Amino acid sequence: MKKFLKYAVAAAMAAGILSGCGKENLASDAQPASVNAASSKEIRASEADEGVLNLVQGPGAINMDTTTMDSVWVNRGGIVKGLMFRSLFLPDSTLTRLSPDLAKSWEISEDQLHYTIVMDEGNTWHDGEPVTADDVVWSISTILKAAQANAIYTNAFSEISGAQDWKNGKAHKLDGIKADGAVITIDLDRPVGNFLNVLGQFAILPKHLLEQSDPLELHNDPFWANPVGNGMYKLDTFIKGSYFDIVPYEGYKGRKPAIARIRTTNVADVVAAAQAGKVDFINTNAADQIALFNQIPSFKATPVDMLFYRYLVCNIKSPDGTDNLKMSDKRVRKALLMAIDRESLASSLYPDLAQVNNTGVPSGLAEYNKDSENYSYNPEQAKKMLEEAGFDFSKTLKLRYYYGDQSSIDFMTAIASYWNAIGIQVDVQKFQGDATTELFTIKDYDLALKGLSAFGYEEWYGEYASTNANFKNIFGGDTAFDEKINELNAASNPEDRAAILSDLQKLEQDNLWKLPVFTMQNVFYVNEDRVETAGEFGNPWFNYDMKFEDWKLK
């Protein structure tokens, strides 16, 4: 199988099936083949970097042009957003224990339907305005009407009393959340087992700067070109297309950080930047980058286990009921999955990083439904299924991706080759715009590679919900999963959750709207010639306490 994989990648590139990714794009994403073993201290370009923690973002980054920050309601994680924006609570690195942050205390009723949260007064926005309970009420209310929002928020907040009438325009406010001075009360129609944990992720935004903005366009609001947060650091310099700096906020109430400036710079090649001593802290799950980072003497690696999924989303149906005829038959989707040798891809492209998965629950965990189908590699059976489904082999499948690392490019090339081998024409291209807009608004694709760093199973299965602001645009708003998703959201007992997860796994295999490929580890790298951290690392796509006030530059 591995020999076929290598042949498939080489043959696909030779045949030019990457029709939308010409040599220039591939060259810009390629990584250097070897590492200069010099210490980063020996090759520092100038003394100007003293006192600056250097971060980079490469061609695969969201908003690579650095004209705006991406919305914290879509993507919460990352060191910069974690330091600029705060939530009511601050999770630890395992995302299982909460400490007060913007809130100082909370109470929950025995039936888990009534929450009372008391704000920690005296916190301010970076423009000096106070952070208030009204900011919290406005933020939670507004995200329910936002066009782009992470499903963990909309799933949880949709259970607030009056949410449906508020979203549908039948009510002038969200009835179940109120502010009285520093006290916030929230009433739910049904229990949400991880409600507090979700509040620990949800970034509060400034009502006084955004209340006149259209919720449907909030992710594109000019606010994100000069964002005003409430965290330990504030935006200082924003050189569009080049870099941006954040510096400690003088009005921050907590312990003051030791690092005077954090700079995020656009680079064409993150590995080359690291080799040149220009990177102090970075995380990745790109195998080609990991292999080269491991050769840099000053880099210390820390692997982190988490629910990070790589999978193919299928553009099946629009909310108006319009079908994508190429993808509407489940037999076609199943055949495409069975035509991919996922085990060989995992071992060849992501050694020691990737594990093949067949549902949203990794197969090695107790909650995995042992009756689940494995979708074993079987190209002969796959082609037969396509023929039985009446698949039109004269049509070209549009396969898209947004990652820029070489491993992802090789991965997509290999998938196209597997499908070529059973007679399918494939057009592979990298999205040119931002991933969320390309996936859920423009929708010019049949299948697309997607990554998800999940807060919990609720997020993976929440993508199937008819109310999901993004996925309803490609899954048609089907309600097949809603009942079980609601049960999972409400459950806190482990046995109850296991039973619900078993049902959900059966449902997703019965429908197969997403084609599961891998779950993957992530690896943090710290340049120990330059930085001393607190050693607290968790899922990089979520908000957690990195103990950043204890970080120091050497």
Instruction: Give bridge partners of residue 244 from the DSSP assignment.
Output: 238, 264
Phi, psi angles (nearest 5°) of residue 330: -60, -35
pLDDT tens digits along 279-318:
999 999 888 899 999 999 999 999 988 899 999 999 999 9
pLDDT at residue 271 is higher than 90 = yes
**Rounded Cα gap, residues 406 and 431, in angstroms:** 15
pLDDT tens digits along 214-267:
999 999 999 999 999 999 999 999 988 899 999 999 999 999 999 999 999 999
Q: Which residues of 37-63 are buried (b: 16+ CB within 10 A; e: fewer)?
A: eeebeeebeeeebeebbbbbbbbbbbe
Mean pLDDT of 398-408: 92
**Rounded Cα gap, residues 311 and 514, in angstroms:** 7
**Under 8 Å between Cβ of 345 and 414:** yes
Q: Which residues contact 107 (CB under 8 A, 6 or more apart)?
A: 115, 116
pLDDT at residue 173 is higher than 70 = yes
Identify the CA nearest to 407 among candidates 310, 313, 336. 310
Identify the CA nearest to 181 among candidates 101, 252, 126, 121. 121
Mean pLDDT of 518-528: 95
Mean pLDDT of 352-371: 93
Supply the mean pLDDT for the chain: 90
Q: Which residues contact 477 (CB under 8 A, 6 or more apart)?
A: 319, 466
- Tell me which of 57-71, 402-416, 438-452 is least confident: 57-71
pLDDT at residue 2 is higher than 60 = no
Which pLDDT value is given to residue 60?
53
**Rounded Cα gap, residues 402 and 163, in angstroms:** 33
Structural domains in the chain, CATH included, are 2-27+307-520 (3.10.105.10), 44-69+231-305+522-553 (3.40.190.10), 86-224 (3.90.76.10)
pLDDT at residue 133 is higher than 60 = yes
**Rounded Cα gap, residues 518 and 515, in angstroms:** 10
Q: Which residues contact 511 (CB under 8 A, 6 or more apart)?
A: 330, 464, 480, 481
* Element spanning 349, H or E: helix 342-349
Mean pLDDT of 417-439: 96
pLDDT at residue 4 is higher than 50 = no
pLDDT at residue 467 is higher than 90 = no
Which pLDDT value is given to residue 240?
83
Task: Supply the DSSP symbol for 257.
Answer: P
| CB atoms near residue 439 (< 10 Å) | 22
Residue 551 pLDDT grade (very low, low, confident, very high; cuts 50, 70, 90): very high
Q: Which residues contact 286 (CB under 8 A, 6 or more apart)?
A: 403, 405, 406, 407, 408
Which pLDDT value is given to residue 49?
61
Residue 135 pLDDT grade (very low, low, confident, very high; cuts 50, 70, 90): very high
Mean pLDDT of 370-393: 98
Mean pLDDT of 518-539: 95
**Under 8 Å between Cβ of 266 and 64:** yes
Which pLDDT value is given to residue 306?
87
Question: Which carries the bigger pLDDT value, residue 74 or residue 387?
Answer: 387
Phi, psi angles (nearest 5°) of residue 414: -65, -40
Which pLDDT value is given to residue 334?
99
pLDDT at residue 395 is higher than 50 = yes
Residue 27 pLDDT grade (very low, low, confident, very high; cuts 50, 70, 90): very low
pLDDT at residue 96 is higher than 90 = no
Mean pLDDT of 93-100: 92
Identify the CA nearest to 29 among candidates 432, 288, 406. 406
**Rounded Cα gap, residues 71 and 76, in angstroms:** 8
pLDDT at residue 336 is higher than 80 = yes
Residue 61 pLDDT grade (very low, low, confident, very high; cuts 50, 70, 90): low
